[in-house]
Structure 1
Amino acid sequence: MSRAYRRMLPLISEALAFELPDIHDALNRGESLIIDGTDVPVRKHKPAIRTHYSGKKRKHCVNVQVLTTISGRLMLLAEPVPGSHHDRKAITESGLEELLAGTLYLGDLGYQGTDAMIPYKKGQRPGTGELIEHDKAFNDQLAKIRWAVEQGISHLKNWKIMAEIYRGVFHELPSVIQTIGRLEFFRLRSLGTRL
């Protein structure tokens, strides 16, 4: 299976190259985007045993930044970064922060310090430790919009290779992730999903 998979991966990726949405077109149209990070579990391997361990998830993984439209259309899967890197560091290392500079995009509190529109958190208002009603309403509305990126991630996690521990050759993982992204674009398009 491993040899067949290695031969097929480049062919599938090349055949599906036309399926990728153009992120630059979406940005030029002023489309609002949502970003979030997801983890792809990996096996322990000596060269990067510490950098791929996520203390938050308590497992070895890589962090993949996922970008969707507010309607839930998957737009981009960034190159994976080590699992020990927080979303804030991952967006910078993957080059997405530079790509999204000057555009409107939504994120969670993991993107504090970027241009992302993020929820208010307790203690942010001087003199009180609690959120005022306006802040709570804003957070509720933001959460209702952010479902789209969570749905995009859940579609990716339906692919077994993205949800379970990746046991293949580690340096091939980025191309595997990009191929899964292209297959997901193709799947949604073939279903006639107009997102």
Structure 2
Amino acid sequence: MWPLGLYKSVVRVLFPLRQNPVQEVAAELFGVSQATVSRRWNTLLPAVEKVLAGHVPGPAEASAGRIVLIDGTLVTTWDRASEGTRMFPGKHRDTGFNLQIAATLAGDLLAVSEPVPGSRHDTFARGQSHFPEALTEREKLGDLGYLGTGMHTGRRKPPGRERSAGDNEANRSINTLRTAVERAIAHPKDWKVLATRYRAPTRFPAVIKCHQDGHSPRLPQKGLVTPP
């Protein structure tokens, strides 16, 4: 029943999380059938998540005394005809999920939200993630996409006028600080399952949960990923 054995079966589950190969390729490398690869994935992926859950601090604890940077990123997936419009953001001209990333000023990853369809705005995705509740007592910085959320953001150009010197200086200061969140976004994307086009959108939330160990803390609230 378990031709690979438990250890190799777990390795076989972790391998596609890191490298994102098609199942036929994984089967060839491990010397088993594609059906065996699929069964191990479906059986052990939830088990890996449960075993590793709880080994990282919660976001409130991890961010204590820190300013939190928040930004969104698109993680591409294959298109599905029934989901194409919802998954396709005009800004990126590609299909995928919107992930909200919370990070420190040092670029350390604090949290990754549960994915929402890529067509949804960052403000909506942030609200769905419950970041406001998880990080309620923290000073937070975001880009202009988060105007009106209570976060510290830059200032838009007034209609028919140029920004004042003070506004320009404030925007430069905020943008300089926010570069750290781009480094934090790069951490989860060093796994090819997020850096390349994932093939099974319906399973994507579970993949997000399981790949984050060592990158971000556990977020137990509704609407937030609970990484292992």
Which TM-score bucket, shorter chain as reference?
Answer: 0.7 to 0.9
Residue 117 of structure 1 pairs with residue 117 of structure 2: no
Contact residue 72 and residue 99 of structure 2 kept, 8 A? yes
Q: Within 2, Cα distance between the matches of 1:162 and 1:123?
A: 38
Pick from 174, 186, 195 the counterpart of residue 154 of structure 1. Answer: 186
Partner secondary structure for residue 178 of structure 1: helix
Single out whichever of 159-168 and 92-101 deviates more from structure 2: 92-101
Aligned-residue CA RMSD (Å): 2.1
Gapped regions of structure 1 (runs ≥ 5): 187-195
Distance 1:165 1:183 in 2: 22
What is the one-letter code of the residue matched to 1:178?
K
Residue correspondences, number: 181
1:97-148 CA distance string (max 9 Å, x none) = 3433453100011111101111112117xxx621222222221221121121
Which deviates more, 48-57 or 18-27?
18-27
| Displacement after TM superposition at 1:183 (Å) | 4.5
Contact 1:101–1:115 (CA under 8 A) maintained in structure 2: no
Return the letter of the residue paired with 2:189.
Answer: K
From 120, 126, 140, give the equivalent of 1:85. 120
SS in 2 for 1:130: coil
Tell me, yes or no, if structure 1 residue 131 matches structure 2 residue 163. Answer: yes
Q: How does 1:54-73 map to 2 (within 5 A)?
A: 54-73=89-108
Residue matched to 1:45? 80
Q: Which runs of 5+ in 2 are unaligned?
A: 1-36, 218-228
Q: Measure the CA separation in 2 of the matches of 1:44 and 1:139.
A: 36
Query: Does 2:175 match 1:143?
Result: yes
Matched to 2:182, the amino acid is E
How many percent of aligned residue pairs carry the same amino acid?
A: 34
Bigger Rg, structure 1 or 2: 2
TM-score normalized by structure 2? 0.71
TM-score in terms of structure 1 length: 0.82
The whole-number CA distance in structure 1 between the counterparts of 2:135 and 2:166 is 27
